[in-house]
A and B are shown apart, each in its own frame.
Chain A
Amino acid sequence: MKQRKVWLIQFGEIKDFFRRLFVVILFVVSFLSIFLTRVDSLIVSAVDKVIIDATGPIMQVIEFPARAIHRVYTYFYDISHIYADNQQLRDENKQMMILQNKVRTLEVENQLLSRLLNYIPPAEATFVSAQIIAESGDNFTHLLLVYIGDNIVEKGQVVVGEESVIGRVDTVGNKYAKIILITDINSKIPVVVERTRARGILSGNNTAMPQLIFTRSNADIQAGDLIVTSGVGGIFPAGLPIGFVNTVHNDGTVDVEPIADISRLEYVRIVDYGLSHNENFLNEFTESNTNAQ
């Protein structure tokens, strides 16, 4: 009887030891995951893909009623603004008609000049539409989860809203993809100020307004200037609109207001310009700029 009690105590101690060991293992796994993410391990992206594909269908079910409510709200909002919108569209239409004639003339001129120079145009961009089914769950990150179905999408491809860049593809699963928005801290896009051609990097900072960094101290930047992609780095093609300069601070930092109105988006377009394999180049470019600074 006495011996049995001793055995029980020993068994309890062993159980307690393994419980503690398990907790230590969980902490070690967490630290290891952070390290592996830092070195961009394939294991991490593989795990990411598996979990996204496993939880994606649940998100689609949850998203459905939320989307229905949003549609009803948008319907009544649009009706209440229909007169003002109509007036604005009429004005825009007049301007567009003038621009259309100019574009036609320029297109013909461009074709003639291209023929003279034996210019071989790049392959045309293709795109797929993807439905937004989830957003990041906290205010430390800005990303979207989209349903891509059976479409082929690659990491690094450009994601466009109605009229401007909203982010890039980060992780691709079998049916779902994770998109990093331009406001996220992980987002770094080489851009140029359209008016003055001043270059910089549009860096997300987890606020609604990303910042323009690595610009020259004497660069001519004013509020209202259009920011477009510069094409440097090879990920994004040149000339895609991103946002307008909102504020130029005294210390040289520039806040940029994105053009895309994410509140209106249900679908996004993932555009393949055939450039997504150049992502490493962008990282090197950003790092070399940081060092130069």
Chain B
Amino acid sequence: MRSKRQEQIFAFLRHRLPLFSSLLLMLLFFMPINSVQINFFRPAIGVICVYYWRLNRPSLFGWLSAFCIGFIIDIYSSSPLGINTLLMLGLVGAVGWLCRYFQTSSFSVRWLIFSLAALAFTLSKWLLLMLYFTCWLPISEIMVGYFSTVMFYPLIAAFNAWLAHKFLPPENINEQ
């Protein structure tokens, strides 16, 4: 029998689960791989998580959650503070608009939409960084990272779906 206080704590944690799990996954993918070459294959876990949770559980993943994720990416990279938060906010806005149309669509459609959203995110970041540093940044390595992100989407989405089914109250949407 849980006390009222415990219930409140559990409810708080349940509501923050998408944010906390996303942050943990991101930190997991910051693990040292010890190779510059393999580093280019690092997927953008933050983008996957923001897209997934905003599309499937918009009530549990708002603007502030996306801001936090962008902020941590900014801190753990040498890109200027604010670039990733800005782009994550943009992504949340775009996905919020998209979920009106694609919330109940099949997984493959969502994956396709994700590939386009991630492409827009990657190219925007590339452009912003070039403007900031006023120099040309090679696109090939960045595109390798983009393809890796798209390939990792099913894996991360499956993990997030498992989390949602296990710990979150059901929502009337086609979650997968």
Interface residues of A, Cβ cutoff 8 Å to B: 22-23, 26-27, 29-38, 44, 47-48, 51-52, 55, 58-59, 62-63, 66-67, 70, 132-145, 170, 178, 180-181, 183-186, 205-208, 262-266
Q: Would A135 and B63 count as touching, CB distance under 8 A?
A: no
Q: How far is the CA of A80 from the CA of B63 in the complex (A)?
A: 52
Assembled-state Cα–Cα distance A237/B143 (Å)? 37
**Which bucket holds chain B's interface residue count?**
35 or more
Cα–Cα, bound, A181→B144 (Å): 20
Q: How far is the CB of B26 from chain A (nearest CB, A)?
A: 6
Say whether, besides A138-B44, A140-B79, A26 and B30 are in contact (CB < 8 Å). Answer: no
Report B11-69 residues with CB < 8 Å from chain A CB.
24, 26-37, 39-42, 44-46, 63-64, 67
Complex CA gap A134/B83 in Å reads 21
Report the separation of the CA atoms of residues A212 and B75 in the bound assembly, to the nearest whole angstrom. 28
Which of B45, B71, B83 is the one whose CB lies under 8 Å from A137?
Answer: B45
Given A33-B74, A59-B27, A139-B142, 7 further pairs, Cβ under 8 A: A34-B80, A47-B81, A55-B27, A62-B28, A139-B40, A184-B78, A262-B36
Say if the beta carbon of B133 comes within 8 Å of chain A.
yes
The reply to whether B81 and A36 contact each other, CB–CB distance below 8 Å, is yes
Bound complex: CA A31 to CA B81 (Å): 9
List chain A residues, Cβ under 8 A from B154: none
Given contacts A34-B81, A37-B82, A138 and B145 within 8 Å (CB-CB): yes
Which single member of A27, A134, A141, A185 contacts B86 (CB below 8 Å)? A27
Q: Is B110 an interface residue (CB 8 A)?
A: no
The reply to whether B82 and A142 contact each other, CB–CB distance below 8 Å, is no
Interface pairs (29), CB distance under 8 Å:
A26-B67, A29-B82, A30-B89, A31-B86, A32-B82, A34-B86, A35-B82, A48-B81, A55-B72, A58-B27, A132-B34, A134-B27, A136-B39, A136-B77, A137-B26, A137-B29, A137-B42, A137-B45, A137-B73, A137-B76, A139-B141, A140-B79, A140-B125, A141-B78, A143-B77, A185-B133, A205-B135, A262-B36, A265-B34
Interface residues in chain B, defined as those with a beta carbon under 8 Å from any beta carbon in chain A = 24, 26-37, 39-42, 44-46, 63-64, 67, 70-83, 85-86, 89, 125-126, 129, 132-133, 135, 137-138, 141-142, 144-145
A63–B41 CA distance with the chains assembled, in angstroms = 19
Contact of B83 among A34, A44, A208 (CB under 8 A): A34
Flag if B36 contacts A208 (CB, 8 Å).
yes
Could you say which residues of chain B place their CB within 8 Å of the CB of A34?
A: 80-83, 86, 132
Q: Who on chain B is nearest to A48 by CB?
A: B75
Enumerate chain B residues within 8 angstroms of A142, measured Cβ to Cβ. 36, 39, 78
Q: Which 5 A-B pairs have the closest CB atoms?
A: A33-B82, A34-B82, A139-B145, A30-B86, A141-B77
Contact B64 A26 (CB under 8 A): yes
Given A135-B31, A185-B135, A263-B34, is A140 in contact with B75 using a C-beta cutoff of 8 Å? no
Q: How far does the Cβ of A73 sit from chain B's closest Cβ, in whole Å? A: 10
Q: Evaluate whether A205 and B137 lie within 8 angstroms (CB atoms) in the complex, with A37-B82, A47-B81 already known.
A: yes
Bound: A31/B132 CA distance, A? 12
Q: Which residues does chain A contribute within 8 Å of B24, judged by CB atoms? A: 58
Q: How far is the CA of A63 from the CA of B32 in the complex (A)?
A: 7
Partner of A206, one of B26, B71, B85, B138: B138
**Taking A23-B63, A140-B79, A207-B138 as contacts, is the C-beta distance between A135 and B33 under 8 angstroms?**
yes
Q: Chain B residues near A33 (CB, 8 Å)?
A: 74, 80-82, 85
List of B residues within 8 angstroms of A55 by Cβ: 27, 72, 75-76
